[in-house]
Amino acid sequence: MKLRQNIIGGAAVGTLGIESRNPSDVTEVVGQYAAATKSDVHAAIEAAKQAFPAWSHSGILERHAILRRVSDELNARKEEIGTLLAREEGKILGEAIGETVRAAQIFDFFANECLRLAGEILPSTRPGVGVEITREPIGVVGVVTPWNYPIAIPAWKIAPALAYGNTVVFKPASLVPGCAWELTDMLHRAGLPAGVLNLIVGSGSVAGQALLDSPDLAGLTFTGSTATGRQVALSCVEHHRKFQLEMGGKNPMVVLDDADLAVAADAAANSGFFSTGQRCTASSRLIVTEGIHDRFVKALQERASKLVVDHALGKDTQMGPVVDEKQLAIDQDYIDVGKNEGARLLFGGEVLERRTKGHFLQPTIFVDATNDMRISREEIFGPVVSVIKVKDYDEALATANATTYGLSSGIVTTSLKHATDFKRNSQSGMVMVNLPTAGVDFHVPFGGRKGSSYGSREQGRYANEFFTVVKTSYTKS
């Protein structure tokens, strides 16, 4: 078992207070961690402030080399970090190792971005004057992350923050401090100067709130629920702080009569149930036209009934546990809501007993659902999908867009006309054709619309919009 403190100004600080348990086996303690106090958070922000002048003027080769070393270490330790991730979060080992490799790819990408910090030179409208447009780091950035991607989301915020010369105070979700600690430790051993990245492990209400209340943060990048995101936004407006929010989703997947049935059922099973449905890009609204509806539902049920739900480290496991008992209670509550609203529970809905004591829930399918039911409107964040039957493509598109969210959407069809129309008219940040709604590349922008996102995009070179500020300089020669 690991004992881990905060890392502030390069030093281990704080008293232990958070115990992390394995959702596949709640008798197993994964680690003991600090519970950051307000004064720890203030110390972390002060350390990041002190480190900013030097780091923001550091050489691009130094930044490049540090990020590259972290990428190499993540790859070299992917089994070990993946195992820790599976133990603290509950996703299956294959997915957890995949996520670790993703984090390595992200560090590699931003290591190279350090070498491409380009600006623009334009002629002025005034003869003899030149104009330069450059990008500068914004300052001390707060990074607040959720539990469902314990290494990839911190990577896609911290790597660009550092690459572009910012210093960071990092508050991971208190359910998953282990991966956060390992990543912070790796960065320090890779040569990151003390104070450039500070880890505070603690609850949202104490450590997170203390971060929000600080007048010294220049920026805040947040991923988590829409409810917390709203609080973050209000605080950032009050402090004149730049911010970026990635929040919940209620992502639709449309299946048309002309779809390849196996492609549709595979994409829906992946979107609905992989990572136990605990992905912001998961699909929980399957919007299916009449002609294929019954065949699709049968094929999806077949796939759900074959999914092996068990300990995340089990060699045959395909779906791990729900992250904790609170989330399990939320999932069960929504399953009751669905039944009471008149949707028909076709498959699943039961808590499963396995050899170890974990939060295991069956993949769950509701049919005869309508888009105005709560199970179709509200993010459940579990392995629960509603199938909504519609007449034709036009009704499918309108239903897909009838949501307060707009992160990801998908369509399964062999019609070029409908695929093209859906790409243009789907009100989401990411559109998938004949693919699951989840599963994205690391070198292109990630983000949504409406209640799912606020601010500029994350990932790829679009990340520089948030992590830098533009300066326009005029010179008369």
- Which sequence positions are flagged as catalytic? 246, 280
Residue 456 in the binding site for ligand NAP (CB under 6 A): no
**Residue 116-145 contact track with ligand NAP, rule CB under 6 A, x = bound:** ----------------------------xx
Residue 171 in the binding site for ligand NAP (CB under 6 A): yes
Residue 91 in the binding site for ligand NAP (CB under 6 A): no
**Identity of the residue, 33 or 52, whose beta carbon is nearer to ligand NAP in the bound complex:** 33
Residue 379 in the binding site for ligand NAP (CB under 6 A): yes
**Identity of the residue, 182 or 310, whose beta carbon is nearer to ligand NAP in the bound complex:** 182
Number of helices (H), then strands (E), belonging to the chain: the values are 15, 23
Residue 247 in the binding site for ligand NAP (CB under 6 A): yes
**Residue 414, token pair as written in the block:** 């062999």
Residue 280 in the binding site for ligand NAP (CB under 6 A): yes
Q: Which helix (H) or strand (E) holds 443?
A: none
**Residue 327, token pair as written in the block:** 């989330």
Residue 225 in the binding site for ligand NAP (CB under 6 A): yes
Instruction: Give the neighbor-by-neighbor strand order of the sheet with 430-433.
Output: 344-347, 364-369, 384-390, 283-289, 251-255, 408-412, 430-433
Q: Round to whole Å and give the CA distance between 298 and 288.
A: 13
Q: Round to whole Å and give the CA distance between 306 and 322.
A: 18
Instruction: Single out the segment in contact with ligand NAP by CB under 6 A; choices: 76-84, 223-231, 364-372, 419-427.
Output: 223-231
**Residue 400-419 contact track with ligand NAP, rule CB under 6 A, x = bound:** -------x------------
Residue 224 in the binding site for ligand NAP (CB under 6 A): yes
**Residue 272, token pair as written in the block:** 């609905």
Q: How many residues bind ligand NAP (CB under 6 A)?
A: 29
Asked if 430 contacts 446 with a C-beta cutoff of 8 angstroms, the reply is: yes
**Identity of the residue, 228 or 413, whose beta carbon is nearer to ligand NAP in the bound complex:** 228
Residue 381 in the binding site for ligand NAP (CB under 6 A): yes
Q: Round to whole Å and give the CA distance between 192 and 186.
A: 9
Question: Which DSSP state fits 343?
Answer: -
- Return the residue matching tokens 């450590």: 207
Q: Which helix (H) or strand (E) holds 323?
A: none
**Identity of the residue, 221 or 318, whose beta carbon is nearer to ligand NAP in the bound complex:** 221
Of residues 27 through 86, those in contact with ligand NAP by CB under 6 A are none
Residue 322 in the binding site for ligand NAP (CB under 6 A): no
Q: What beta strand segments (E) does 379-423 contain?
A: 384-390, 408-412
Nearest to 326 by CA among 366, 372, 278: 278
Q: Round to whole Å and give the CA distance between 425 and 395.
A: 13
Choosing from 52, 55, 147, 393, the residue that interacts with ligand NAP (CB under 6 A) is 147
Binding footprint of ligand NAP on the chain (CB under 6 A): 144-149, 171, 173-174, 203-205, 208-209, 212, 223-225, 228, 231, 246-249, 280, 379, 381, 407, 452
